[in-house]
Amino acid sequence: MSLFSRFFGKLDDDDPPKAKTLIANANIEEPLGLQVLFAEKVSLYPKKLTAALEAYDRGIRKVKCEFDPTLGKQGNLLGMVGWDQHVIKLVGFDAPMPKEAVELCVAPAHYPTALKKKAHAHKAHVLLYYAGYEESPIEQYVALAATAGVLTEFGAIVVLNESAHTSFPAHALSEADSEEGMLELLRTLPRPILYCGFVKHEVEDIPGVWMRTYGAPLLGFPDLAVHAAGHDEGERYFGIFNNVFCYLEDSGARLAPGNTMQIETEEYLKFRSPLKEEEFLESDGALLVIEIIKPDEINRKGNRK
């Protein structure tokens, strides 16, 4: 029975039936992922990780977990953990992540400087990749975030999302005063906090601040950008971006250049493609620029919330 084969989505002849073991989904070509930083070297064991996940939320049951014992002795980690339709690959190293990747995600994040310094000084990291059978990107991220949150018990300090250019304190994913449970909290987490990033850019010779998201196309949405007057408008536009994403998620609507929208905050929005001179807004997928408009400028048959 080969963990390596199942890690890449293949069953060997002597493997148990698929329903009784962990096998990665071979049809996922570009998996969603999170990266977890540890202050010290990582020590993970299947039984302890299984128990921690099952204690994390009542919705996580019958967890399967398997690591390669040989790599563990060499200071590295390769394994899988899963429950229900979820399978998460874990690849760990007793070494720091590349500095450029850490800086990309830590610099724009919104948490104390002291924790950012700890992130830069981390000694080990674990890469999490979604390899299960859930189709919803949000539910995939929820499973990844739950696994990352549980790793706090094993020394995790910060969780990165390279695709989103952002990061988040690991302890904030580990526990909450919520009767609904941690999984529901992760489902309702504002999208620009971890599942896509909220980043501010000052562009040379352009007054004001550009604010934008990264990684939203992986959720099935376009990235969003706006030209703000100053940094103090960050909270306002963070809320606008999240409201737009929640509307798209709940309604199944799609945005296109020229669409308009009214959102809960009584903001009226128009969406356009980036201008030729806004090439600094490059994105791996679709990106739309938001312009604030007057109520009488909204499309009569446009998208509304």
Contacts of 290-295 with CB under 8 Å at 24 or more apart are: 290/224, 290/225, 290/226, 290/237, 290/240, 290/244, 291/226, 292/267, 292/268, 293/260, 293/268, 293/269, 294/268, 295/262, 295/268
Q: Which residues share a beta bridge with 82?
A: 64, 87
Going residue by residue through the chain (305 aa), what tens digit of pLDDT does each one get?
578 889 988 876 665 655 568 999 999 999 999 999 999 998 889 999 999 999 999 999 999 999 988 776 666 899 999 999 999 999 999 999 999 999 999 999 989 999 999 999 999 999 999 999 999 999 999 999 999 999 999 999 999 999 999 999 999 999 765 667 899 999 999 999 999 999 999 998 889 999 999 999 999 999 999 999 999 999 999 999 999 999 999 999 999 999 999 987 688 999 999 999 999 998 888 999 999 999 999 987 644 44
C-alpha radius of gyration, the chain, whole number: 21
pTM for the predicted model, two decimal places: 0.93
Sorted by sequence, the CB contacts under 8 Å of residue 283 that are 6+ apart come out as 214, 217, 223
Where do the H-state alpha helices sit in the chain?
3-7, 46-56, 69-73, 99-106, 113-120, 137-150, 182-187, 234-251
Question: CA–CA separation, 254 vs 287, rounded Å?
Answer: 12
